[in-house]
Amino acid sequence: MEEKKNILTYAGLKKLEDELQDLKVNQRKMIAQKIKEAREQGDLSENAEYDAAKDEQRDIEARIEEIEKILKNAEVVDEDEAGTDAVSIGSRVTLKDLEYDEEVTYSIVGSTEANSLKGFISNESPLGKALLGKKAGDHIHVESPSGIVEYNILAIERNSDN
């Protein structure tokens, strides 16, 4: 079975590489020091600091493994190639929510970078799928848990602040 490609923008790739570097260089040293200090306190069977440090070490190693897997299967999208005539990964799209009569802006990114609270939606999400390939002025319908939501696409820009 082929691994799923992780679509990333250059900014998303850089962010993951920086996090991986920090985890491997800084966090590993810090946790090794915590474990060393906890060991020096003696009996490990009732040492909460040692247990907490080992848990933290396990979490760090799991995150390192997760990032390495993402990067191994990464496909980087060149946002400079994202045009402003149609929505694609790397686009920043301004929409008018017709039900609430309000404007919202989203950046279309791969699922690895998605963070709806910060305005980054996945190309695999219902809204992301509905937007791909559409043009400014288009009217779209998106199925959500609360029913059909309708939007008008007001503007498409290149995403520059990932």
Q: What is the pLDDT of residues 83-134, one digit of tens each?
A: 678 998 889 999 999 989 999 999 999 999 999 899 999 999 999 999 999 9
User: And the tokens for 45?
Assistant: 């069977």
Share above pLDDT 70 across residues of the chain, in percent, rounded to a whole number: 93
| pLDDT at 1 exceeding the cut of 70 | no
More confidently predicted of 61 and 89:
61
Q: Which residues contact 120 (CB under 8 A, 6 or more apart)?
A: 106, 107, 109, 113, 114, 162
CATH of domain 6-76: 1.10.287.180
Looking at residue 84, what is its pLDDT? 75
CATH class of 81-158: alpha beta
User: And the tokens for 28?
Assistant: 């590993």
Looking at residue 9, what is its pLDDT? 85
More confidently predicted of 41 and 59:
59
Average pLDDT over residues 135-162: 87
Q: How far from the centroid of its chain's Cα atoms is residue 103's Cα? A: 23
CA distance 71 to 76: 10
Q: Place 3 in a pLDDT band, splitting at 50, 70 and 90.
A: low
Looking at residue 2, what is its pLDDT? 60
Q: Where are the domains of the chain?
A: 6-76, 81-158
| pLDDT at 162 exceeding the cut of 50 | no
pTM assigned to the model? 0.75
Q: What is the pLDDT of residues 118-132, one digit of tens each?
A: 999 999 999 999 999
Looking at residue 47, what is its pLDDT? 82
